[in-house]
Structures are given as C-alpha cells and as structure tokens.
Amino acid sequence: MTTIQFDNVWKEYDERIVLERVNLTLDDHEFLVIIGPSGVGKTTLLRMLLSQETPSRGRILIDGEPIAAEPTADRGVVFQRYSVFPHRTVLGNVMMGPQWAQAPLLGRLFGARRRAVEERAMAMLTRVGLAEHAGKYPAQLSGGMQQRLALAQALIMKPKVLLLDEPFGALDPGTRKQMHQLVGELWEENAMTIVMVTHDLPEAFLLGTRVIAVDRPRTDPQAPERFGATIVSDYEAKCRIVRDSRRFEAERTQARLTLVSDSFVSAGGASAPALVKD
C-alpha cells in the first residue's frame, strides 16, 4: 500500500520559481502520468520524489510519512537514456542493487547468497525477455533491450514507487508499443505506484490511470522567474471499472504463475524460475 501526497510544494532555484503550489494526493497503485511543455518542471517533480531535490516550501509524504532525505531502494527510477552500467554484463547489472543492499561495504556476495541473488536476477531477466542475453554487455543490446534491462534493474529492488522519466522517448514506434505492454503488465504484477513523465499524449492516456498537466498559469514577461508552474489539469484516465478488471486479470495471471512454479518445484525438486508465463 503506497500513497503519495504533495502538500503545497514549491521549488525555487535562487530567485527563480520553477514550481509553485503543487497539491496532489495519489492513491495506492496509481499510474500517474505527468505531461507539460519543455522546461516546465516535470523532471524536477520526479527528482523531488527521488529525494535528489528537496522542496523549497511545502512537504512530500509517502504513506503519510515525510519522504526520506536520501534516495532509498523503495523508489526506483528509469531515465530516457540508459541508466545501466556499461562495464557490467546484463546479469551483473541486475545483480548489482541486491548485492549492494546485502553487502554495503563490498558490493559483492559469495556462495549461497550470491546464487540466490543470481537466481532472482535471472528470473527478472526472463520476465523482461532478456534471459538469453544475460552474458552480454549493454553496448551489445538495442535501445529497447537496454530499457528492459533498466526496468529489470529497478524492479529487482521491489520498489514501492517506480519513477519513469520519458523512458520510451528514444525508441522506435514498434519497440515503444512492446514497452507499453510490458510496463503495463509489470505495474499490475508488482502492485506498485508509477509516476511517469512523457511528451506523448496517446501514451499518457494509454498507460496512465491519472494524467496531470503541469504549466505556468500566469506569466510576467518582464520577470519570467517570478511565477512557477503548477498542476493545471487533472484527468482520471481510466474509469474504475477498467482498472478493476485489469487488476482482476493481473491477479489471475499471478495465481497461474504461482501454480506453474509450485508444480515445477514438486515435480522436479529444484527451485523454479519465479516468473514464467504459461
């Protein structure tokens, strides 16, 4: 269960007001999409949700508590340009987060603990369709594959909130469509809250349960820094019945996955891949 609240949030850089009076309450398992003109402050909103920036005024609450001052593992992020590490293999990239979480000094695990993380990472790579590329380096992958890797890297940390900053902006239309499908499925399966920035309106309404437009409602041509942007429109992008039926479908899929993996364990005595679709 994750709720997010922006309570009269402002962001100023020196004399310049970028965002003002941002008030927003997000329900659990929402897929919020932020749209708006270039330079208006969309990424700044995401960066505040990651604790990479702090509000100049107001506060942000997650599950009713003030947001942590530092970035934490329960908030994952995928950027437009690849946030993966070029000198690590695909598998190495996905294993990195859990290894640092469990071994904060060395960033490396050994023995059974390493094998357990490797198994989880392989299951995640299977889920995003990259298992057969586990030994490759990011430069050997296409743009869409690199974004799937970035998603796997974020999701293995089981974030409560996933932040997506124009994650499909650099992809061709076909790959984009596949990524829409994948992100929609992962959102349902992982029961997390997603906040995504995009410039693509159809994409916003296809994926979002809620879409907000951010813009400057007033401007002073003599002093453009005087007024900031805020939420100027707020659309419920999917009616309750569509959301409920999608959730029902996801729960059915999850139940099938559990069944498949249980029968695999009892039949073979070995551990099953965590996520295998029938």
Site residues (vs ligand ATP, CB under 6 A) = 13, 18, 36, 38-44
Residue 218 CB, nearest approach to ligand ATP (Å): 17
For ligand ATP, the closer of residues 198 and 209 by Cβ is: 198
Question: What minimum distance in Å lies between the beta carbon of 197 and ligand ATP?
Answer: 6
Nearer to ligand ATP, 43 or 153 (CB): 43
- Closest to ligand ATP by CB, 21 or 246: 21
Rounded Cα gap, residues 79 and 154, in angstroms? 11
Q: How far is the CB of 16 from ligand ATP (least distance, A)?
A: 7
User: Nearer to ligand ATP by C-beta: 38 or 222?
Assistant: 38
CB of 163 to ligand ATP, least distance (A): 12
| Nearer Cβ to ligand ATP (113/199) | 199
**Buried b vs exposed e over 11-48: b needs ≥16 C-beta within 10 Å?**
beeeeebbbbebebebeebbbbbbbbeeebbbbbbbbb
- How far is residue 206 from each of residues 96, 181, 182, 188, 193, measured CA to CA in Å? 32, 10, 13, 14, 16
Residues near 121 by beta carbon (within 8 Å), at least 6 away in sequence: 91, 94, 95, 98, 152, 156
Q: Can you tell me the distance from the alpha carbon of 110 to that of 75, in angstroms, rounded to the nearest whole number? A: 26
- Nearest distance, CB of residue 165 and ligand ATP, angstroms: 8
SS3 273: coil
